[in-house]
């Protein structure tokens, strides 16, 4: 995908193009005032601009203008972020990702400030300062393990059973997304929609990516972090620059106050979802992001999202958490940008300091953590257990590990045992629960919560495919695979022991635009191993090539091996499984064109878990 900027995009703005395509928008750029304090949370991130388009008029539920009529377009800016990280840290760390959308409506800005997870750590904003303290680098030496926080975080969550549901999401693969373009977004809170007649219903907002919801696996994320620390931000930028505009469908769960009262959980409790099986999602429109910012500092650093930014037709519910957020965002904007730009945040005049009590249902902490865990595939469950093991291994105080395990017993004994075994510990007694006779949950398994339910509709578009090349590869099969893949919208890279021209067995030249040394296998979604005995021999003697192939296999991505290329798979240890695994396709060179559609289908499946249990290199 192209990375060149299009200066034409700047026409109509006050921006000026400087040498090397740099852009100046803000007159104070490069001056004493260039820096503003970074956000305490969600510091590193990317903004992209575009529009929201309503599928239909939705006036029976809300008078909010973005939903006023079919085809109505509202300009939007979305900011995707890493929740707990400081700026400058790697994109890949395990973390909740921010998903904030600013709708620039005809009646003012509406900020839907959500995450890629539908629940939160705490039920009450009073606990937020402690949570932030525990998520941030250790107070004495300022070191964080980057991928996860330290003892203080696990001390906090193990003492806070209400965090358990969020922990399930954070320990799942959702916390290491493949791309900002491949994340779901959730408004998290229960909002109110109000129509022209003043009638109201409750509502939850869901963003669903057409690109599918896809994740990395941990070993892959760790290696990408070194190979390309800006992986997520680069991916979003390059997709938009190349014209592959990411798109999300907005869906609403709508329910009445009476319905909500009958649920076994409280809809104002942010540690609970409303399962889709209980209230289905109604699609209402789509968001298309089609423009990168012209100026990072002006449009990404200085942009301010605020929960209080609402428009008529959408209102708050008085969550104990939302009330706190409404103060906190305005407060942080004053500290962060008011001094620099003179921006006065929206005053929270609507807030009468109403205090919302918590119903008895808030005391139930485990049913939905179990719902999430029990709705995952076997592989997803294994990844959750592995993440807990990895994280808790880094915890220095044994009592914290023990307490966390005792809390996990309340989610699933199987999970607790799986984690305990990796820590060399016995499964402890279950942590006493705050409530022993909760109302029975309406839904105990929700297939919609597994990534398997979210393949998307974009197939291999923008997927990065590596084709290994060496002197003496067979040219014709690679040319036909290349054609089929690019026609399907994939981005194909020829990867060699170095960049530059390689001469094929029949004399054609193939230019490698990537080298294995600087672009390891983890940066690609799938692999084509070429035919040609001289080439295969050279690749077999190249340590980078063998590591490249093993990583693609280990991370369960699709491999196509042509002709003699099969030998490389055997050398990489795949011999025993290569004929059985649906993620490994084998073909003679003469059949390259015929195998291409099957390869494309397999790549759009993202990962093939068969490898997982059979990988000799796992
Ligand atoms: Fe928050 C930023 C999302 C709870 C206080 N939050 C921030 C951003 C997102 C969220 C996406 C980044 C905005 C941007 O890109 O500039 N926050 C959430 C979600 C929450 C949540 C989904 C739970 C449902 N947040 C939450 C609470 C408080 C805050 C309970 C405080 C009481 N959040 C903040 C903040 C931030 C922020 C400290 C830091 C930077 C900023 O506001 O501009 O005010």
| ipTM summary value | 0.96
Q: How far is CA 331 from the centre of its chain?
A: 28
DSSP result, 256-285: -HHHHHHSSS-TT-TT----TTTSPPEEEE
Within a domain: 384: no
Tell me if 489 is assigned to some domain. Answer: yes
pTM listed for this prediction: 0.93
Nearest CA residue ID for atom 25, ligand 1: 325
Of 333, 350, 367, the position where a domain reaches its end is 350
Q: Please tell me whether residues 1 and 138 are part of one structural domain.
A: no
Same domain, 21 and 54: no
pLDDT band for position 617 (50/70/90)?
very low
Q: What is the pLDDT of residue 356?
A: 59
Which pLDDT band holds residue 349 (cuts at 50, 70, 90)?
A: very low
More confident of the two residues 548 and 582: 548
Closest CA to 206 of 241, 254, 261: 254
Which helix (DSSP H) or strand (DSSP E) does residue 567 occupy? helix 566-571
**pLDDT (0 to 100) of residue 10:** 42
Candidate from 41, 120, 162, 296 with most ligand 1 atoms within 8 A of CB, to mutate = 41
At 243, which CATH number? 2.40.180.10
Least trusted range by pLDDT, from 159-163, 325-329, 527-531: 325-329
Could you tell me if residue 546 is inside a domain? yes
Contact 444, 265 (CB under 8 A): no
**Domain, as residue range, for 9:** 1-34
CA of 533 to the centre of ligand 1 (A): 57
Residues classed as catalytic: 42, 115
Residues 344 and 473 in one domain: no
Residue 118 pLDDT: 98
How many angstroms separate the CA atoms of 37 and 304, rounded?
A: 13
- Give domain status of residue 391, yes or no: no
Task: Take atom 9 of ligand 1 and give the residue whose Cα is closest.
Answer: 98
* One domain, residues 27 and 49: no
> 298-312, 344-358, 498-512 — which is least confidently predicted?
344-358
Residue 269 lies in a domain: no
Length of the chain: 618
Q: Are residues 21 and 90 in the same domain?
A: no
CATH code of residue 546:
3.40.50.880
Q: What is the pLDDT of residue 150?
A: 79
Residues 486 and 582 in one domain: yes
Confidence grade of residue 16 (pLDDT, cut at 50, 70, 90)? low
Give the nearest ligand 1 atom to 39 CA.
Answer: 40
Domain final residue pick, 318, 350, 382: 350
Mean pLDDT of 272-280: 98
Residue 330 has a pLDDT of 86
> pLDDT, tens digit, for every residue of 44-100?
999 999 999 999 999 999 999 999 999 999 999 999 999 988 887 788 889 999 999
Whole-angstrom CA distances from 266 to 123, 337, 447 are: 11, 36, 22
Statement to judge: residues 336 and 470 lie in one domain: no
To test the pocket of ligand 1, the residue of 38, 40, 42 to mutate (highest count of ligand atoms within 8 Å of its CB) is: 42
475-487 and 592-604 helices, crossing angle to 10°: 40
> What is the per-residue pLDDT for 13?
45
Ligand 1 centroid, distance to 211 Cα (angstroms): 26
- Residue 29 inside a domain? The answer is yes
CA distances, 141 to each of 52, 148, 334 (Å): 45, 16, 28
| 134 close to 153: Cβ distance less than 8 angstroms | yes
Residue nearest to atom 34 of ligand 1 (CA): 329
Does position 474 have pLDDT exceeding 90, yes or no? yes
In-domain check, residue 361: no
Q: What percent of the chain has pLDDT over 70?
A: 89
| Residues 30, 49 within the same domain | no
pLDDT of residue 89: 79
What is the per-residue pLDDT for 30?
A: 60
Same domain, 228 and 187: yes
Q: Are residues 20 and 63 in the same domain?
A: no
For residue 441, tell me if it sits in a domain. Answer: no
Q: Are residues 51 and 198 in the same domain?
A: yes
Q: Which of 350, 370, 396 is the last residue before a domain boundary?
A: 350
Report CA(113)–ligand 1 centroid distance (Å).
Answer: 7
Q: Are residues 23 and 84 in the same domain?
A: no
Domain count, the chain: 3
Ligand 1 binding residues, C-beta < 6 A = 39-42, 45, 79, 81, 98, 100, 113-115, 120, 125, 128, 188, 270, 305, 321, 324-325, 328-329, 332
Sorting pLDDT into bands at 50, 70 and 90, what band is 611?
Answer: low
| Residue 204 dihedral angles phi and psi, to the nearest 5° | -120, 140
497 or 332: which leads in pLDDT? 497
What is the rounded average pLDDT for all residues in the chain? 90
pLDDT beyond 90 at 383: yes
Confidence at residue 84, expressed as pLDDT on a 0 to 100 scale: 87
Per-residue confidence at 22, pLDDT binned at 50, 70, 90? low
Burial (CB count within 10 angstroms: exposed 0-12, middle 13-18, buried 19+), residue 192: middle
Q: Encode pLDDT of 236-263 as tens digits.
A: 999 999 999 999 999 999 999 999 999 9
Query: Which atom in ligand 1 lies closest to the alpha carbon of residue 188?
Result: 24
Residue 335 pLDDT class (50, 70, 90 cuts): confident
If you measure from the C-alpha of residue 97 to the centroid of ligand 1, how many angstroms do you get, rounded to a whole number?
11
């Amino acid at each position: 995908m192209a990375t060149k900027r299009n200066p034409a995009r700047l026409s109509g703005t006050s921006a000026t193009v400087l040498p090397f395509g740099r852009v100046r928008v803000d007159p104070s750029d490069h001056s004493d005032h260039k820096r503003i304090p970074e956000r305490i949370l969600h510091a590193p991130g990317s903004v992209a601009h575009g529009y929201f388009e309503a599928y239909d008029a939705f006036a029976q539920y809300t008078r909010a203008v973005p939903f006023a009529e079919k085809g109505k377009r509202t300009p939007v800016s979305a900011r995707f972020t890493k929740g707990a990280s400081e700026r400058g840290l790697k994109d890949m760390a395990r973390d909740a990702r921010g998903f904030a959308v600013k709708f620039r409506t005809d009646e003012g800005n509406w900020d839907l400030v959500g995450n890629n997870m539908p629940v939160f750590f705490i039920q009450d904003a009073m606990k937020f300062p402690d949570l932030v303290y525990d998520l941030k680098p250790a107070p004495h030496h300022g070191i964080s393990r980057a991928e996860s926080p330290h003892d203080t975080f696990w001390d906090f969550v193990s003492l806070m059973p209400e965090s358990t549901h969020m922990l399930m999401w954070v320990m799942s693969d959702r916390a290491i997304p493949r791309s900002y373009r491949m994340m779901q977004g959730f408004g998290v809170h229960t909002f109110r929609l109000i129509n022209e007649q003043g009638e109201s219903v409750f509502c939850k907002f869901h963003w669903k990516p057409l690109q599918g919801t896809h994740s990395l696996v941990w070993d892959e994320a760790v290696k990408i972090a070194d190979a390309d620390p800006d992986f997520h931000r680069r991916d979003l930028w390059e997709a938009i620059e190349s014209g592959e505009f990411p798109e999300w469908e907005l869906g609403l769960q709508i329910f009445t106050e009476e319905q909500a009262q009958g649920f076994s959980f409280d809809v104002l409790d942010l540690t609970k979802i409303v399962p889709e099986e209980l209230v289905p999602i109604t699609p209402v429109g789509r968001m298309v992001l089609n423009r990168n910012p012209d100026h990072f500092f002006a449009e990404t650093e200085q942009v301010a999202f605020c929960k209080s930014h609402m428009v008529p037709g959408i209102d708050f519910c008085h969550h104990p958490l939302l009330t706190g957020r409404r103060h906190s965002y305005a407060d942080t904007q004053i500290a962060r940008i008011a001094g620099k730009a003179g921006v006065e945040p929206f005053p929270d005049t609507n807030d009468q300091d109403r205090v919302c009590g918590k119903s008895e249902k808030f005391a139930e902490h485990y049913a939905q953590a179990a719902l999430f865990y029990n709705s995952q595939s076997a592989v997803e469950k294994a990844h959750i257990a592995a993440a807990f093991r990895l994280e808790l291994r880094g915890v220095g105080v044994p009592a914290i590990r023990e307490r966390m395990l005792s809390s996990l017993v309340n989610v699933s004994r199987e999970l607790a045992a799986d984690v305990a075994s990796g820590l060399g510990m016995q499964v402890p007694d279950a942590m006493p629960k705050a409530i022993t006779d909760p109302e029975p949950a309406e839904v105990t398994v929700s297939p919609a919560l597994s990534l398997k339910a979210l393949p998307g509709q974009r197939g291999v578009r923008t997927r990065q495919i590596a084709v290994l090349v060496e002197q003496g590869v067979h040219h014709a099969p690679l040319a036909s695979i290349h054609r089929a893949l690019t026609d399907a919208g994939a981005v194909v890279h020829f990867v060699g022991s170095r960049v530059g021209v390689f001469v094929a067995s029949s004399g054609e030249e193939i230019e490698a635009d990537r080298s294995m040394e600087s672009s390891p296998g983890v940066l690609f979604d799938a692999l084509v191993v070429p035919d040609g005995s001289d080439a295969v021999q050279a690749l077999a003697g190249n340590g980078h090539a063998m590591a490249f192939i093993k990583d693609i296999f280990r991370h369960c991505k699709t491999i196509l091996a042509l002709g003699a290329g099969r030998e490389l798979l055997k050398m990489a240890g795949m011999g025993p499984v290569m004929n059985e695994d649906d993620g490994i396709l084998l073909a003679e060179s003469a059949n390259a064109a015929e195998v291409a559609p099957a390869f494309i289908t397999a790549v759009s499946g993202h990962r093939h878990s068969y490898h997982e249990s059979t990988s000799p290199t796992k």
